Structure 1
Amino acid sequence: MGKHGRVTETTLAPAAVGATVHAADSPDAPWWRDAVIYQIYPRSWADADGDGIGDLPGITARLPYLKDLGVDAVWLSPFYVSPMHDAGYDVADYRDVDPRFGTLADADAMIARAHDLGLKVLVDLVPNHTSSEHEWFRAALAAAPGSPERDRYVFRDGRGPHGEEPPNNWPSVFGGRGWSRVTEADGTPGQWYLHLFDTTQPDLNWHNPEVRAEFESVLRFWCDRGVDGFRVDVAHGLVKRDGLPDWHGAVGLYDEVLTEDGPDAVGDPAVLDHNATGDAPMWDQEGVHEIYRSWRAVLDSYGSPGRILCAEAWVKPEERLARYVRPAEMHQAFNFDFLETPWDAARITAVVESSLRSNDAVGAPTTWVLSNHDVVRHASRLGLDQSLPRTNGIRAGEPQPDAALGLRRARAYSALMLALPGGAYVYQGEELGLPEHTTMPDDVRQDPTFHATQREVTGRDGCRVPMPWTHDGPSLGFGPGDHPWLPQPEAYAGLAVDQQDGVEGSTLELYRTLLRLRREHRLGGGSLAWDAAASATVVAFRVAAQGDPGVLVVTNTGADPVTLPDGEVLVASGPLDDAGTLPADTTVWLRVAAG
């Protein structure tokens, strides 16, 4: 579940042209410092049994595609037992596979096949809350107030003469109140439980030692099955401030302030940074770091080549986010400031430099990302007015992206990202240039945000549509059935894998080339310095690994062509002309001469 943040202007003075902003890693740095990790949304990647929902056998069958693409690892969104009120992020059993996705044996087979192909496997961990169908929560409902069972969650008496008002004013990220009242065993209205997300996702009490012990056990369970790491959902939300004080800021994903009465549009972007000031009592509390130090110790006990933790933490400013990747804590944290930076050279340059500086200060790599299962796909996002705030979902009656412009910019932005030092995440289908499904009928939407806000907030279904593998056939090759769980837009047929495989200039072949060159030149472990080709509309930097002359990366975000620096073209995100210029909305990688 992504938590909405917003890029803020950096206050750092930019480095001088030619000065090193970021030093190169040593050639023997751990794998995770420069890995490219591919996110699989299991229900939407490949359906082996034809029920319309992707599954683990489908994933296993398609893993050779990722080997050929050139990524280093895969991250799978949740496939655990779940009632699926929030697409699996409401977990009822952390140690078993939901029958929709297969069995534990299928998970073992998938992990083994990935390892045979040289791919590492990360799985999602959801520690902020469980499903309301988890055995712990069922036991809590059956137990009395003040019981050990209730202490695993955040239960409180209500306010008011009869406890009829919630314990505080916190709203849910998904809309409405952040509290629900239970009916006690004797039939009377009882205590309230906290759920920062859906009502079926009760928050755990991370002050409880039993909760901490349980999740360390879950980590060991999956490490023992061979997984190589964990993406940690809502990593900044586990611990709440003592006393649970009222909060009058925003808590959520969207361009609205969510209250129990629904979303209220606001004009001041600053209020939308739900933890930008560091004082939101439900986010980024100091106690989370103790938890992650204990988890790091668990993972480190497994030895080489190293299991990892990646934080989904919507935390500002960048210096606070960097605290999650200090040496004894997590290994990676998604760079959402980068994801949210619009198509503007000055702002891209600023966020790249500030991100690298912040993470370098704690000895951590920067982890770049442009799309995931919680945000509008960047092939569509970049086709919208870049002066407006990032939208959450697009409907048929709303302004539509310029598809050609969005794809051209997406290819260029991806080429820029994959040249940057550090790690990177690729969301399934972005290597095909897949757009958001912007005309999806409302009656098929499943995101709980859409329903909890009485259809006011569009939600995230548009970026979660099943993959197109073939131009023809049922569900475009997603599976043998013709009714995938979400409908695919017409544009997906022409963007299917079989329409791009081996086709010069296709987005798929562009990604394959970028990933091959990134690996050959070891750009993920390289140094970064700004280049004199930069301007108000041009991002230009040099990346060089130890012992490699390096690569000059130039991105034109402006409307007009710019002079192309001298050098051998290694790859370009779009066609180059014969006039010695770099077209608008294009990135090029040039070989840097030795010496």
Structure 2
Amino acid sequence: MTDRQPVPAWLAEAVLYQIYPQSFADSDGDGIGDLPGLTARLDHLAELGVTALWLSPCFVSEFGDAGYDVADYLTVAPRYGTNADLAELVREAGARGLRVLLDLVPGHTSHRHPWFQHSARTPGDDRYIWSERITAPVHAWIPNQGPRGGFYRANFYPIQPALNFGYARPDPSEPWRSPVDAPGPLANRAALREIMAHWFELGVAGFRVDMASSLVKDDPGYLETGRLWGELRGWLDAHYPDRVLIAEWGDPAQSVPAGLHADFFLHFTGRALRSLWDNGTGSQGHWAHGEPCFFDAAGNGDITEFLTAWQQAEAAIDGRGLVALPTANHDFSRLVCGPRTREQAACAFVFLLSWPSVPVIYYGDEIGMRFVPGLPEKEGSQFGTEARQGSRTPMQWDATAGAGFSTAPAAEFYLPLDPDPDRPDVATQRADPDSLLHLVRRLVRLRRDTPELGTGSPVTVLSAGYPFVYRRGAGHLVVVNPRREPAELVLPELPAADPVLVSGVELVAGKLRAGGFSYGVFRV
């Protein structure tokens, strides 16, 4: 689309912060985080320097999948508060210069959503995908308990019936394959606009779009899915040009040209992010197929796969949008996981906040909260062999027994606290100028004050090994050595460099020496 509006400047300059609402801050003592609790903690986020908050789903749900089974897109779940509480959060965040993004789940609803309840008893209603028989993929078809009978297609769990956005390749012999312009798919497209407009009018700045590639079925190359998002982007540009859609697609080279403002590099699509951090839950510093990730203390990783994916995405995007790079999220392990320490997390933050992507900080990673293994399943957190609950534990605000998260008895917490007696917390790190929290604050401030470290400046890789060395624009050099062992590199072409934020790195006469778990940002 040559007439597409540019990405809003605030997103290009943003540092995002993801909040898992049920684990962030509990204001009413029921052991579950809520919106008033979050509002009361906004000063921490303002001090951190982030500019936008992304809340995982906070809508009415039966919570069979932690809120990703929405039963009412227009109403806040009572356990989190009310719509008025969300409006108050948006106002108070705005007063601190923070925008609020919500999580849109467009591909499926809860089986308790009124749309599905109506469809399940109404032959001919095609808001969902219905068949008289089980067909491929067999595991996705669920027997209907309503008077309509038949089977409905689910996206993930049986409680998550797929909304019908049509099939890219209809087949008259398979009548469940609605074309994309059938009444049900068109009604669902209209519903997406209505949902987004409702929250935009209340001041919400945008949405992270869950599984954005999953809407149109049997869609080779995602051509029809891309047209759907291109249509929605046109509507957004016309009516809400300062609002944004950030895809959970995992392939910016496809999603951004389609019309989404940004997309994540993710662990489960491709190899780019896995080759950086790891493959997620329970990691021992290795990603898929047992290969070591780059941020591996032994230094056996390889960053070239990430760089290749980055270059391909940048070429395809061609300035029309952005790549978002998260520290972690609610589905994957934290930076501090298994043997990976907070020292390595410091290196990861230096990279994250000096690379030309939109950085996304998962709650608690700024203090080095760890992935906690061995926790009980909670609200669908065990998906297949993947245990996600270890990244969803309560935020650690202070060193008290309840970590400042809640006044409820610990047994009533949404998930158990990290039992480690040395677990980090905000209050302790706030008092320690050498803490990870203070480093992240300094890095966020440095990125804000140094345009060359942001999304709009080119990156030139000088060394794709240990240490990892790259220039940002003409004036800044970044060095990251996330392994335990020191590393040396001769860079005779470099001019003199002045340290800006350095720990364990020396640059003298064209020779670079980087200690173990070291980093440096220099002005050249």
Query: Structure 1 length normalisation: TM-score?
Result: 0.73
Could you say which residue in structure 2 is the equivalent of 1:11? none
Matching residue within 512, 515, 520 for 1:588: 520
Query: 1: CA distance between counterparts of 2:132 and 2:157?
Result: 20
Matching of residues 47-66 of structure 1 within 5 Å: 47-66=26-45
For residues 435-454 of structure 1, what are the alpha-carbon distances to aligned partners after superposition, in whole Å with 9 as ceiling and x for unaligned? 101132xxx3215263x75x
Structure 1 residues 352 and 492 mapped into 2: Cα distance closer, same or farther (>3 Å)?
Answer: farther
Query: 1: CA distance between counterparts of 2:325 and 2:121?
Result: 45
Matching residue within 454, 476, 490 for 2:419: 490
Aligned-pair CA distance for 1:408? 2.1
Matching residue within 292, 298, 307 for 1:352: 307
Query: 2: CA distance between counterparts of 1:182 and 1:361?
Result: 42
Structure 1 residues 492 and 237 mapped into 2: Cα distance closer, same or farther (>3 Å)?
Answer: farther
Could you say which residue in structure 2 is the equivalent of 1:245? none
Aligned-pair CA distance for 1:531? 5.2
Once the two structures are overlaid, the 10-residue window that deviates more, 501-510 or 557-566, is 557-566
SS at match of 2:66: coil
Q: In the alignment, is the contact (CA less than 8 A) between 1:447 and 1:460 conserved in 2?
A: no
| Residue 311 (str. 1) matches residue 238 (str. 2) | no
SS at match of 2:120: helix
For residues 101-127 of structure 1, what are the alpha-carbon distances to aligned partners after superposition, in whole Å with 9 as ceiling and x for unaligned? 000000100001111111111110000
For residues 486-514 of structure 1, what are the alpha-carbon distances to aligned partners after superposition, in whole Å with 9 as ceiling and x for unaligned? 00112376401011004122110110011
Aligned-pair CA distance for 1:365? 2.4
Could you say which residue in structure 1 is the equivalent of 2:481? 556
Could you say which residue in structure 2 is the equivalent of 1:509? 438
Matching residue within 455, 464, 488 for 2:392: 464
| Residue 439 (str. 1) matches residue 374 (str. 2) | yes
Query: 2: CA distance between counterparts of 1:68 and 1:570?
Result: 21
Structure 1 residues 104 and 535 mapped into 2: Cα distance closer, same or farther (>3 Å)?
Answer: closer
Q: In the alignment, is the contact (CA less than 8 A) between 1:310 and 1:330 conserved in 2?
A: yes
For residues 267-312 of structure 1, what are the alpha-carbon distances to aligned partners after superposition, in whole Å with 9 as ceiling and x for unaligned? xxxxxxxxxxxx6xxxx632111221222123223455x1000000
Could you say which residue in structure 2 is the equivalent of 1:430? 365
Matching residue within 132, 151, 154 for 1:157: 132
Could you say which residue in structure 2 is the equivalent of 1:394? none
Could you say which residue in structure 2 is the equivalent of 1:179? 141
SS at match of 2:155: coil
Matching of residues 128-527 of structure 1 within 5 Å: 128-144=107-123, 147-148=124-125, 151-158=126-133, 166-170=134-138, 177-185=139-147, 190-207=149-166, 208-241=185-218, 285-303=222-240, 306-315=242-251, 321-326=252-257, 329-336=259-266, 337-342=271-276, 343-344=293-294, 347-352=302-307, 354-362=309-317, 363=319, 364-380=321-337, 401-402=338-339, 405-440=340-375, 444-448=376-380, 450=382, 453=384, 457-473=385-401, 475-483=402-410, 484-491=413-420, 494-522=423-451, 523-527=453-457
Structure 1 residues 529 and 76 mapped into 2: Cα distance closer, same or farther (>3 Å)?
Answer: closer
Could you say which residue in structure 2 is the equivalent of 1:67? 46
Query: 1: CA distance between counterparts of 2:504 and 2:407?
Result: 37
Once the two structures are overlaid, the 10-residue window that deviates more, 216-225 or 347-356, is 347-356
Query: 1: CA distance between counterparts of 2:374 and 2:146?
Result: 44
SS at match of 1:583: strand
Query: 2: CA distance between counterparts of 1:409 and 1:198?
Result: 36
Structure 1 residues 424 and 120 mapped into 2: Cα distance closer, same or farther (>3 Å)?
Answer: same
Structure 1 residues 76 and 531 mapped into 2: Cα distance closer, same or farther (>3 Å)?
Answer: closer
| Residue 542 (str. 1) matches residue 471 (str. 2) | yes
Query: 1: CA distance between counterparts of 2:421 and 2:210?
Result: 29
SS at match of 2:70: coil
Query: 1: CA distance between counterparts of 2:204 and 2:163?
Result: 24
Amino acid paired to 1:468: Q
Q: In the alignment, is the contact (CA less than 8 A) between 1:476 and 1:493 conserved in 2?
A: no
Structure 1 residues 464 and 492 mapped into 2: Cα distance closer, same or farther (>3 Å)?
Answer: farther
Provide the aligned length of Structure 1 versus Structure 2: 463
Structure 1 residues 352 and 36 mapped into 2: Cα distance closer, same or farther (>3 Å)?
Answer: farther
Structure 2 unaligned segments of length 5 or more: list them.
Answer: 1-6, 167-184, 277-292
Q: Where do 4+ consecutive residues of structure 1 move more than 4 Å?
A: 574-580
Structure 1 residues 236 and 89 mapped into 2: Cα distance closer, same or farther (>3 Å)?
Answer: same
SS at match of 1:553: strand
Query: 2: CA distance between counterparts of 1:91 and 1:520?
Result: 40
Structure 1 residues 183 and 104 mapped into 2: Cα distance closer, same or farther (>3 Å)?
Answer: closer
Amino acid paired to 1:587: Y
Query: 1: CA distance between counterparts of 2:79 and 2:196?
Result: 23
Could you say which residue in structure 1 is the equivalent of 2:286? none
Could you say which residue in structure 2 is the equivalent of 1:19? none
Aligned-pair CA distance for 1:370? 2.6
For residues 439-497 of structure 1, what are the alpha-carbon distances to aligned partners after superposition, in whole Å with 9 as ceiling and x for unaligned? 32xxx3215263x75xxx24210000010101014x21012213311001123764010
Identity of aligned residues (%): 34
Query: 1: CA distance between counterparts of 2:459 and 2:76?
Result: 46
For residues 336-357 of structure 1, what are the alpha-carbon distances to aligned partners after superposition, in whole Å with 9 as ceiling and x for unaligned? 2442114438732442354144
Query: 1: CA distance between counterparts of 2:12 and 2:421?
Result: 33
Query: 1: CA distance between counterparts of 2:497 and 2:206?
Result: 40
Aligned-pair CA distance for 1:529? 3.9
Query: 2: CA distance between counterparts of 1:125 and 1:334?
Result: 15
Query: 2: CA distance between counterparts of 1:479 and 1:295?
Result: 40
Aligned-pair CA distance for 1:577? 8.4
Query: 2: CA distance between counterparts of 1:554 and 1:313?
Result: 30
Q: In the alignment, is the contact (CA less than 8 A) between 1:220 and 1:298 conserved in 2?
A: no
SS at match of 1:218: helix
Amino acid paired to 1:513: R
Higher RCO (Cα < 8 Å, 6 or more apart): 1
Structure 1 unaligned segments of length 5 or more: list them.
Answer: 1-27, 159-165, 171-176, 243-278, 316-320, 381-400
Could you say which residue in structure 2 is the equivalent of 1:528? 458
Q: In the alignment, is the contact (CA less than 8 A) between 2:108 and 2:161 conserved in 1?
A: yes
Aligned-pair CA distance for 1:407? 2.3
Aligned-pair CA distance for 1:45? 0.6
Query: 2: CA distance between counterparts of 1:492 and 1:296?
Result: 49
Structure 1 residues 29 and 237 mapped into 2: Cα distance closer, same or farther (>3 Å)?
Answer: closer
Query: Structure 2 length normalisation: TM-score?
Result: 0.83
Query: 1: CA distance between counterparts of 2:505 and 2:313?
Result: 35
Query: 2: CA distance between counterparts of 1:361 and 1:458?
Result: 32
